[in-house]
Amino acid sequence: MPGFENLPLLSPEITLTIFALLVLGLDLAFKRLKDALAYVAIGGLILAIMLTAHLFGTQGSLFSGMLVVDSFALYFKIIACLTTGLVILSSIAFMKEKTPYRGEFYGLLLLATLAITLLVGASDLVMIYLSFEFVSLTCYVLVGYLRGDPKSSEAGIKYFLYGAVTSAVMLYGMSLIYGITGSTQLTVIADNFLSPSSPVASTRWLILPAVLFILAGFGFKIALVPFHQWAPDAYEGAPTPIAAFLSVGPKAAGFAVLIRVLLTALPAYQIDWIALLSGISLVSMTFGNLVAIQQTNIKRMLAYSSIAQVGYILLGVVAAGPGTVGIMGVLLFILAYLFTNLGAFVAVVAFSYATGSDEIADYAGLLRRAPLLAAALVVFFMSLAGMPPTAGFLGKLFVFGAVIQMGQKVFYFLAVAGVLNSVISLYYYFNVVRLMFFLPAKDETSLQIPRSLVVAVAITMAMTLVMGFYPQPFIDLATRSVVTVAMLSPQ
């Protein structure tokens, strides 16, 4: 069968599909299995990661150029599976308290992961749109999963309305691109823009609005200002593990597809999108940080903090010039951000599991009540603020390095704005540290934290520190994944 000889390239996706169905089926068949299903799901994810790692370095195209498999996509597939694995680990105890429908929950998470793995490999506008919607749909359900909790339902509806509008706008932008170039294939689009004989010239003015419309969709997924308004409400209302998932998984996927579209299809318009993204990045990090200062709920604070974080990541995309470490910076930053931000969220899950509160004020005196949790949070906050010796420092080093490498005044300004933003962010991150360490607790009882959460915190904290102390293997991995960005095109 033509088009199917490359099927082994899809082994991670196939694995995820099988395990998602397996989890759903087992849930239906054996009523008492609920929590064991989490481990089945984690097993599936580990298998998928191993298969992805095995594929690393191969290159191929599937379904007449709808999907590509390259190291860049594989890197993001590993990120997606890692994220979901950690999220599931942190959900086990938490969801047990909140809902009886846990089988479907894990099944949906696996499907969301599958959607992300498809999105990061999509190389055709149609495929991008379809997998994009697939990610969104699973996420809408997960955000509104706690049906009995009005906040969760409200968050789900808000997220859905926002997502529906932006994806419609994005689809319109895609149709414009198709209209101009006559193709939905990213490489063909690029060729049409670049060749002087193409009929594009007369409709060139349409390109900027088209890019803007598409950016609305990606911006929504990544939660960039001005498409960010859903994020704080969704994070606050969603079950906390899902907020953790939203803050990493779909965002990473959004960046993957953003980079692929910009670098594969639109290199001819690099100057335009660099200007556009520079502005968005500056606004995102500044706005996110300034608003985060005023938050009293830790999930909302982390939501705004993640809006600021994507501003930094975007700097790496802006600085994706020839010969710079921009894209490598983005890859490293996202990996660092995965461990750090998930770690922070897992700690929040642990705290909220033990106390039932998400208020920042209730973190007072945490040092006495759960010293290791407090220490872990300090590491995560240091990493989020980009301080050595943590993973976050490594990510920022490369991203800001790439911006400096561009070597123009505008970029120096962007870099200075970026680092000053991380100083601002330190203020609210360490405000929580201040409460935990400097103030007495209202209630001195020590917190009971379930083992699965302890494991999740330990893994994320260890990785945050390992990436800071011994970054070479991670840099190697990112370098190998970037190499193929230059030749993204499926032939």
Partner 1 sequence: MEFPYLTLITFIPLLGAVVVLLIPRKYEREMKRLAVALSLIPLVLAAILWLNYDYGAGTMQFLEEYTWIPTINVRYRVGVDGISLPLVFLNSLLTTLSLFYSSHTIKERVKEYFAFFFLLEMGMMGVFVSLDFFLFYVFWEVGLVPMYFLIGVWGGPRRQYAAIKFFLYTLAGSVLMLLAFLGMYFAEGTFDILEMARLRPFADNFTLQSLAFWGIFAAFAIKLPLWPFHTWLPDAHVEAPTAGSVMLAGVLLKLGAYGFIRVLLPIFPQAFHHYAPIIAILALLSIVYGALVAMAQWDLKKLVAYSSVNHMGYVMLGLTAAASAIGTSEKVFDSQAMALNGAVLQMFNHGIITGGLFFLVGVIYERAHIRDLKSFGGLGVIMRTYYGITTVTCLASLGLPGLAGFISEFLVFRGALSIITPIAAIAVSGLVITAAMFLWKVVQLIFFGPLNEKWANLPDMHRWEVITVAPLLFFMVLFGLYPTPILNLINGAVVKLLSGL
Q: Which residues bind partner 1 (CB under 8 A)?
A: 378, 382, 387-389, 393, 397, 400-401, 404-405, 407, 412, 415-416, 419-420, 422-423, 426-427, 430-431, 434, 437-438, 471-472, 475-476, 479
CB of 416 to partner 1, least distance (A): 7
| Rounded Cα–Cα distance for residues 190 and 340 (Å) | 36
CB 223 within 8 A of CB 308: no
| Rounded Cα–Cα distance for residues 151 and 156 (Å) | 9
Residue 170 or 415 having the CB closest to partner 1:
415
Residue 334 or 385 having the CB closest to partner 1:
385
CB of 438 to partner 1, least distance (A): 5
Look at residues 95, 112, 448, 54 and name the one whose alpha carbon lies nearest to residue 252: 112
CB of 352 to partner 1, least distance (A): 25
Torsion of CA 236, 239, 244, 247, to 10 degrees: -50
Give Cβ neighbours of residue 478 (< 8 Å, ≥ 6 apart).
Answer: 75, 328, 331, 332, 335
CB of 407 to partner 1, least distance (A): 8
| Rounded Cα–Cα distance for residues 250 and 232 (Å) | 15
Structure tokens at 115: 């959607």
Angle among Cα 267, 69, 38 to the nearest 5 degrees reads 120
Residue 101 or 430 having the CB closest to partner 1:
430
Residue 136 or 422 having the CB closest to partner 1:
422
DSSP class of residue 297 equals: B
Residue 53 or 475 having the CB closest to partner 1:
475
CB 484 within 8 A of CB 260: no
DSSP assignment of 238-271 equals: S-HHHHHHHHHHHHHHHHHHHHHIIIII-GGGHH
CB of 486 to partner 1, least distance (A): 18
CB of 340 to partner 1, least distance (A): 16
Give Cβ neighbours of residue 420 (< 8 Å, ≥ 6 apart).
Answer: none
| Rounded Cα–Cα distance for residues 252 and 112 (Å) | 13
Handedness of CA 368, 374, 375, 376 (dihedral sign): positive
Q: Does the N-terminal peptide bond of residue 322 adopt cis geometry, omega within 30 degrees of 0? A: no
Residue 239 or 471 having the CB closest to partner 1:
471
Residue 54 or 434 having the CB closest to partner 1:
434
Residue 42 or 367 having the CB closest to partner 1:
367
CB of 455 to partner 1, least distance (A): 21
> Within 10 A of 209 (CB to CB), how many other CB atoms are there?
12
| Rounded Cα–Cα distance for residues 212 and 148 (Å) | 38
Residue 156 or 468 having the CB closest to partner 1:
468
Give Cβ neighbours of residue 24 (< 8 Å, ≥ 6 apart).
Answer: 103, 104, 107
DSSP assignment of 17-39 equals: HHHHHHHHHHHHH-GGGHHHHHH
CB of 397 to partner 1, least distance (A): 7
CB of 374 to partner 1, least distance (A): 11
Residue 38 or 426 having the CB closest to partner 1:
426
3-state secondary structure of 62: strand
CB of 412 to partner 1, least distance (A): 7
CB of 53 to partner 1, least distance (A): 20
CB of 427 to partner 1, least distance (A): 6
Residue 30 or 427 having the CB closest to partner 1:
427
| Rounded Cα–Cα distance for residues 359 and 72 (Å) | 39
CA distance readout (Å), 340 to 32, 142, 386, 459: 34, 22, 10, 10
485 residue type, one letter: V
Residue 66 or 382 having the CB closest to partner 1:
382
